[in-house]
Structure 1
Amino acid sequence: MTERALITGATAGLGAEFAQQLAQTHTDLVLVARDQGKLDAKAARLRQEYGIEVETISADLLTEPGINAVAERLADAAAPVSILINNAGFGLVKSFEQNDLADEFDHLQVHVKTPMALMHAALPGMLARRHGRIINVASVAGFIPRGTYGACKSWLISFSRWANVQYADRGVSVTAVCPGFVHTEFHQRMDASTAGIASWMWLDADQVVREGLKDSAGRKSVSIPSLKYKAMVLLSKFSSDKLAALAGKRGR
């Protein structure tokens, strides 16, 4: 049976790389993003290059209609989705007390409430078929005190760990992919300076996705790409909150 993956935030960054690598394995795709033009261009290229089926859904995942449109597709038993990748997200450059509360609510929505809604929509069909994988793109920030971004990613990690145990015997795995700094458009889109981030801390998107897909296929609950970030997460367990928060603030 041909696999079908639904990817949110699929036209840029890690989402685009997930689409590329899955297409190379002849996995059919459902691409979700806001910009229909970018979706159409990416879908056309992937169809031509790999001969796969590619659907597109233009949806704003901060809105109820957008979430409902994707949830309805995930619940469609006629063309089941076997892999859900919750990748859509954004960062806030200011400190918590300086941000508009509406922006913080949107941040919480896209990183926690939207993935929760999409997993809730996908799981019944996956469990009925006893086959499915969910990948939640989290961050190493989820292991340290790092504002609301770290808190949101910590929720994704914790839920993924629980869900991977809860549903493993019923054929469904859930994996939180936790990269550090990645060469994508993420920081440019939030107008954040990367000057303080050492060059050795950067990862390439293809490595993050390759290791994330491998760990998902291996039914791991957490995937931390690269040995250096695995070591840093381990060390963070023995650091004080003050030291860990300072390291996160300084990008180290």
Structure 2
Amino acid sequence: MATALVTGGTSGIGNAFVRALAARGDDVVIVARDTERMTALASELEAQHGITVTCLTADLGRAEDVTRICDWIEDPAHELDLVVNNAGFGLHAKLLDKDALETQRRAMDVMCFAVLQLSGAAGRAMVARGHGRIINVSSTSSWIFSGNYSAIKAWVRSYTEALAIELRGTGVTATALCPGWVHTEFHSRAGVSSDNLPGFVWVDADDLVREALADAEAGRPISIPSLKWKTAIFLARLPVAPPVIRYLSNKLSSSRHKQ
């Protein structure tokens, strides 16, 4: 029986991962801030699937909490087959907004440095056992220029590709998951309106998780769920694309700041 750890596992994409892993019979370790919500989810999944769910309360914006989770991961008593670094939040702030600096710092702590630390801990533990999978949640936003969120997710993608290279030949793989617009509460919690988006841009969270797990198992360093988003990113990588991407990024950022 496999065991997987998911950060931010009580909501959004993280919750979809937790439910999919539990449904296939994996034991699950959930890392999140909301102990009550975590405990309720654990009770539900244990009763439904007959698995074991471990709840680790942690705020990944706090260095001491990240260190504690890293120590847990590297403890030989805890053998993990999969680690999903999903915890994060949207940024609805201008880059020149001095009042948003603390939010920007927290975003980088949670979505950059915590990812680096947790991936490193998982990588070391998995390499020692000769097998394992690491999935770091990036975004298709990493190919556009929408505030610091795009910059952070570009870092996650680049870091994960570098990690995948370093892990080559060890039996351990690293995959950057790059979702597009996914049907979760993420956007509303970030204060980003999605009411005007056409239906075809959306991806179902369960489909996304299924493709991500398959890509990780295949050792692919990048996972872009759905053909439509694979096509969009292929076009975004073309040499003629940057001016178009800058135009679309400007339109997207402008619409958000008007809300």
**TM (normalized to structure 2)?**
0.92
Structure 2 CA distance for aligned equivalents of residues 246 and 199 of structure 1: 22
Are residues 25 and 32 of structure 1, via their aligned partners in 2, closer, same or farther at CA, if it must alter by over 3 Å? same
Q: Secondary structure in 2 aligned to 1:97?
A: coil
Matched, 1:171 2:171: yes
Return the TM-score normalized by structure 1.
0.95
**Structure 1 residue 166 displacement after superposition:** 2.0
- Which residue number in structure 2 is paired with residue 104 of structure 1? 104
Q: Classify the secondary structure of the residue corresponding to 2:51.
A: coil
1:20 aligns with 2:12: no
| Equivalent pair of 2:93/2:100 in contact (CA under 8 Å) | no
Structure 1 vs Structure 2 CA RMSD? 1.5
**CA contact 1:141–1:248 (8 Å) conserved in 2:** no
Unaligned stretches of 5+ residues in structure 2 = 254-259
Alpha carbons 1:146, 1:245 under 8 Å: kept:
no
How many percent identity over aligned positions? 35
Aligned counterpart, 2:220: 220
> What is the distance in 2 between the residues matched to 1:201 and 1:249?
19
Q: Which moved more, 1:161-170 or 1:235-244?
A: 235-244
- The answer to whether the 8 A contact 1:197-1:251 is kept is no
Q: Distance in 2 between matches of 1:192 and 1:147?
A: 13
> 2 CA distance for matches of 1:132 and 1:194?
36
> What stretches of structure 1 of length at least 5 have no aligned partner?
none
* Superimposed CA distance per residue, residues 38-84 of structure 1 (whole angstroms, 9 cap, x where no aligned partner): 00000011111111111001111100222122112111111211211
Partner of 1:149: 149
Cα distance per residue 1:122-161 (max 9 Å; x no partner)? 1111101011100001101112222211111111111211
Q: How does 1:186-197 map to 2 (within 5 A)?
A: 186-197=186-197
1:116 alignment partner in structure 2: 116
User: C-alpha separation between the residues in 2 aligned to 1:69 and 1:41?
Assistant: 23
TM-fit CA distance, 1:211: 0.5
Task: Determine helix, strand or coil for the equivalent of 1:100.
Answer: helix
Query: How far did 1:202 drift?
Result: 1.0
Change (3 A) 1:248 1:200: farther
Aligned to 2:244: 243
**Structure-2 separation of matches of 1:250 and 1:180:** 17
Greater shift, 71-80 or 12-21, is seen at 71-80
* Contact map agreement 2:91 2:148 (CA 8 A) in 1: no
Aligned length: 251
- Once the two structures are TM-superposed, the CA of residue 172 in structure 1 deviates from its matched residue by 0.3
Aligned-partner residue type, residue 161 of structure 2: R
Which shifted more, 220-229 or 145-154? 145-154
Give yes or no for the alignment of 1:204 onto 2:182: no
